[in-house]
Amino acid sequence: MRIFKIFMPILLVLIPSVCLAHFGMVVPSQSMVAPENKVVDLKLSFSHPFEMVGMELVKPAKFGVKVGSQNIDLLSRLKKTRIMGHTAWETRYKIKRPGVYQFYMEPKPYWEPAEDCFIVHYTKTIVAAFGEEEGWDEPVGLKTEIIPLTRPFGLYAGNTFQGQVLVDGKPVPFCDVEIEYYNQDQKAKAPSEYMITQVVKTDANGVFTYTPPRAGWWGFAGLNTADYKLKKDGQEKDVEIGAVLWVQFLDWQEK
């Protein structure tokens, strides 16, 4: 018994644990805009969304919206706030005409000592306004991004969603895509650590498929290693680049 007590701490250290997934977050107040409610509130953060554990998000390198061929810089409109107890950013955007609005963020590199690498999650979300739905599958032009193959709005919980992961505009075969539910009301409970983050792989064409089991906001993160390194304390370190897309799924409603 005494020997067991001595070695118990060592055993606990040696038992592997499931790493928490990181997600850049750009979450709007609505994914479909009607003429009577034209204002979209946007919140930008960095977190473990299922567990509602936040991390610091310094002011992003870029934040904007692409609608049609127009690309609008919104970085100066961000205001500092706090989400999950950490620095985050927010703004309001008034939609004036029909269109598909792709809001996107390029954060500054985040150093993650637990993974011994930097993390840069290129994050976007897509909002449709006033009945328009053309252009939801067009790329923004980020270093890495997910191109939806399923229309990313007007979705029910239980609908199957597909997307294609691109790096430098090219599909990425067989890369990991991490998926998490934004557990805002903290009512969802995972029966196992393995159930917190869902993981699928892209196919040979960079396409992944997933069916969310419940309504709410779901984040999809296609993960790859950048073709460059950044220095930390004089040593070159890998950079994880994530293509992150946030999509809303809604409950089926009866009359």
- The pTM for the full model equals 0.92
| HEC readout, the chain | CHHHHHHHHHHHHHCCCCCCCCEEEEEECCCEECCCCCEEEEEEEEEECCCCEEECCCCCCEEEEEECCEEEECHHHCEEEEECCEEEEEEEEECCCCEEEEEEEECCCEEECCCCEEEEEEEEEEEEECCCCCCCCCCCCCCEEEEECCCCCCEECCCCEEEEEEECCEECCCCEEEEEECCCCCCCCCCCHHHCCEEEECCCCCEEEECCCCCEEEEEEEEEECCCCEEECCEEECEEEEEEEEEEEECCCCC
Residue 11 has pLDDT above 90, yes or no: no
User: For 56-105, how does the pLDDT look when each residue is reduced to its tens digit (9 = 90+)?
Assistant: 999 999 999 999 999 999 999 999 999 999 999 999 999 999 999 999 99
Q: What residues does each domain of the chain span?
A: 21-250
- Under the banding of pLDDT at 50, 70 and 90, the label for residue 19 is low
- pLDDT in the model for residue 20: 73
pLDDT in tens, 144-178: 999 999 999 999 999 999 999 999 999 999 999 99
